[in-house]
Structure 1
Amino acid sequence: MQIAGKQHDDGWRVIKRALGPSDREALSFAQNAEGHIKFRLEKWQRYYEPSSDDLNAPVEGGLWIGEYSGRYPSLSAAERDAAASVIWFKAADHL
């Protein structure tokens, strides 16, 4: 799970995150060094893999998957588009 403020290898830093009503969806807003903003709708996806200790006892885990949007000049512009794209996200509710 990404944490606000964490710098990623690609130069983007998550500055804001909002969880959906089921806690299985999230919107993450990230900023780069030039000040551009992008958002990503993520969904929690479970996975199972064999344990290294016991091949018959799978390890349950999960990861957030999603694609980033284009770049925006400001967080408010990204939030407006996110609110138009994701029905559960209302920018005013998360300010």
Structure 2
Amino acid sequence: MKGLSPSEKEITHDCAETTGEAIDELEKSLKTLANLQGSDHKADEMNDLKTWVSAILTDEYTCTDEFDGQKVSKAVKNTINKSVLYLAQLTSNCLALFNLLDY
């Protein structure tokens, strides 16, 4: 992280942490989905999954909220925005696929 201002370092660190947590939650959701086959509470568990993934989608955008009132270079903003957008698209796709499943 050479060449970044202290606020940019803090923002990139926070965004990396938020992104890591989002990825962990997606992995947890996919594992839960894989284990639904023998469950007696499939509908409830699917609703939980959809809630978790929706929350992940919301959390991903909190990263870019940190730009407000901070001096952040255009390059750093663009890099973070691209990463957040990519992860948001993956998360949104997961949610769409979960909504197609009939449990």
TM-score, normalization by structure 2: 0.24
Highest RCO, 1 vs 2 (Cα 8 Å, sep ≥ 6): 2
Find the structure with the greater CA-based Rg: 2
More strand by share: 1
Q: Given the two structures, how large is their TM-score scaled by the length of structure 1?
A: 0.25
